[in-house]
A and B are shown apart, each in its own frame.
Chain A
Amino acid sequence: MGKYEFKVDKSASDFKVSISGTIDEDVDFSPYQLAGATSVEVHLGAVKSINSCGIREWIKWIGTAGSAKVEYFECPKIIVDQINMVQGFLPAQGRVKSFYVPYYSDDSGAEKNVLFTEGKEFTEQGLQTPPVVKDDEGKEMEMDVVEAKYFKFLKK
């Protein structure tokens, strides 16, 4: 197995892909052109890392979707950071349907990623964070991000 893996479920108009591994200068999106698709569903839960060269390739690739509806699912923090920072990482017509929010307990050092799903933890009207997130020992955890920065993409 290489550094990355694509699992594609493609129909006439729908393109569904699950991506895992590392997205860097070695990634090759050319077998997965999105031209002609009316909807593109990208599952990113297993992406481990992405660097600036991988971002460049990603933007080129996702740009081939044209006017198709693009939806990102299960975005890990590294993807959310890119969405927030890099203009074009999420196309203008694209939407994040679900993403992970890291939580952390200073007391126990426990970490947890909580999946925020559209319609539950966030809507077009705003964020509805869970009132309390606890670790396995029942201790309260705090959000491990700068909220003003991490949730910025929801205001688009």
Chain B
Amino acid sequence: MNHRGLSIRYKILLLLTLVPLVTLSLYLVLAVRVFESDKLAYVFESGSSLARTLSSQSTTDLNSVLSLSKPVMQEFLLSGSFGPVAKAVFESEGKLDWVAVYSKNPEGKFEKSGIVEKIVGSGDRDILSFQDVTPLLSESLEKGRLLRVPFKDDRILLVERVVNDRSPDVKIFMIMSRLPDLANSFRATSGSEVFLVNDQGFILFGPAGSEASYLSQKMPLDFLASAKEKNLNSGTELVQGGQGKSLLASFSRSNFGELTVISVVDRAEALRAVDILIRRSLVFFVLLLAASVIVSLFASGSLTSALTALASATRQVAEGHFDIRVAVRSRDEIGGLAESFNAMAGEVSRLMGETAEKARMESELKTAQTVQETLFPPTQATMGGLQISGHYEPASECGGDWWHYCEVDGKVFLWIGDATGHGAPAALITSAAKSAATIIERLNVDPAHAMELLNRAIYDVSKGRIMMTFFLACYDPVTKLLTYANASHEAPFLIQQKEGDLKKRDLIPLNEVNSPRLGQERETKYEQTTVQLNAGDRILFYTDGIPDIENPAKDSWGEREFIKSIISTNSSFPPIEESVSTMVAQFSEYRKGAPLKDDITFFMTRCSEDGV
């Protein structure tokens, strides 16, 4: 058996599994990409919006602090001290904790010129906790305005440089105010971290614990400088944070000082929904794949079981079991194949039966041929003053021609006949003729009487359906008289011994009497006549199959060539065996192995010189 590849069942299984797997995987990749892009855009948009909102809120709150502080500062600048205006502002407004003012003394050192507090002593305690305010004041002197969150709470320290038009002195006001709403806005954001940073990245407000540190420790802030160069007030940036984290940053520059609000979202956190989508999709994929495998197993099992049954049935047919059939369980192509297989097996079975029957019949015909061969005498004989030589060749296994000779009471009887058609039916009639002849020849009757008896036998056997032409002659070696009767058979040719060339007119047909064929009517009377033979005379008895011999082109030999052959093969009156063999050679040369159209039977007799 040939090596088989992957089973069709597994092929179907692979097909039905791989197709959805590949399709769904592609779909997932595309969906994730689209979803991710969309999510990032959404996060950036949300972050930007939040940054803008808080930036706006920061500007408003800080401007509010500045607005509240302005009358207090103007009062000091005008009067050199904090008076009723400051008192009124601090009483009415809860945002301000204290305001302190510094100026440089003649030695160039900063000195506190005054302070106004909501709670007495709270401002000085705070200032004392700063330890040294000089760096802060120096920086403010340089930059003009500073913002700090010294206590990591909701208070913000605004350091403002004020130049008095009326005095060359530069005053620096330190304003401590409370901005709990703003601080909470940065602390309470969910999903993202929002920072309020100054131009150095110092965090003023942000998530709890992040204040008073530099945001650059968490993430690079190069994009802020770039945005400043490009004069962009807001934007988004994907940056690489610490610990390899990708961060989605949105920023919005505030109009108060150099403040910027930055919203930061961990990219992984932002895309957590994508991970969830992937995980859930994978679960769905696995379930779908499992369902697909189960369905495939059923489908392929149904398909391959039918094919397996067909393959098994085919093997059984190959082993000779032609009665095998397969069940037709569907009306699809497999069902059609099963029906075709059953039809084929049935047809093979029928043909095998026919072949067996044909073989049996051929065997029987072979047996019949063997039996029929026993009906014919030896082709060479000498008896009763006659030399006899013959030839017989049936067109099929069994022939309808028959010839025979026998010696009865010193006389030689010569028999030749041709049944209607040829083959087995005709052969059966020749068999009947032979049987009848065996009995008739014992009766020692003349040819006409013998023919009558033979006719009855043939008629009784065939009931008129098969007939037989027949020629029966009786040669008396003493008188050299040949008595014959004819039942519509080809008249034999008498060739008398002569000197010189043989001519066509030297062929004498023995046709003086003729009667109906054997088997045509039961009570036919047959005539007979007698012809005188001489020593050396020869007679050719034949059936009509000889002129009908065809060559491969299906051209008949014809009567003309037959007559020519008779003349040429007997022209010098050679031994009759030689005449017969030469004639066989001549028509065989013409025939060139082509099938015979009819049986070929002929024999020749020659009267001996001594008579007996």
Contact = CB atoms under 8 A, between A and B. Distances in A.
A and B co-occur in one complex: yes
B504 interface: yes
B150 interface: no
A21 interface: no
Interface string B488-504: 11110100000000001
A152 B517 contact: no
A56 interface: yes
Interface in A30-67: 51-53, 56, 59
Interface residues of A, number: 19
Contact of A152 (B507, B511, B515): B511
B4 interface: no
Given A52-B420, A85-B489, 20 more contacts: A25-B421, A52-B467, A53-B420, A53-B421, A56-B420, A59-B520, A85-B469, A85-B490, A85-B491, A85-B514, A86-B488, A87-B487, A88-B488, A88-B516, A88-B520, A146-B493, A148-B509, A148-B511, A149-B511, A152-B511
Contacts of A147: 505
A144 interface: yes
A146 B469 contact: no
A100 interface: no
Interface string B475-495: 000000000000111110100
A116 interface: no
Interface of B: 418, 420-421, 467, 469, 487-491, 493, 504-505, 507-509, 511, 514-517, 520, 559-560, 563
A84 interface: yes
A104 interface: yes
B444 to A, nearest CB: 26
A61 B491 CA distance: 25
Nearest to B490: A85
A84 B514 CA distance: 9
Given A53-B421, A84-B511, A149 B488 contact: no
B378 to A, nearest CB: 28
Nearest to A86: B488
B509 A152 contact: yes
Contacts of A52: 418, 420-421, 467, 469
Contacts of A144: 560
Please indicate which of the listed interface residues A59, A87, A104, A152 has the most CB atoms of chain B within 10 Å of its own CB: A87
A148 B492 CA distance: 12
Shortest beta-carbon contacts, A-B, top 3? A149-B509, A86-B488, A87-B516
A87 B488 contact: yes
Given A85-B489, A85-B490, A146 B420 contact: no
A56 B426 CA distance: 14
19 contacts: A25-B421, A52-B418, A52-B420, A52-B469, A56-B420, A56-B467, A84-B491, A84-B511, A85-B490, A85-B491, A86-B469, A86-B488, A87-B517, A88-B488, A145-B559, A148-B507, A149-B509, A152-B509, A152-B511
A86 B517 contact: yes
Nearest to A149: B509
Nearest to B521: A88
Contacts of A88: 488, 516-517, 520
Contacts of B490: 85
Interface string A126-154: 00000000000000000011111100100
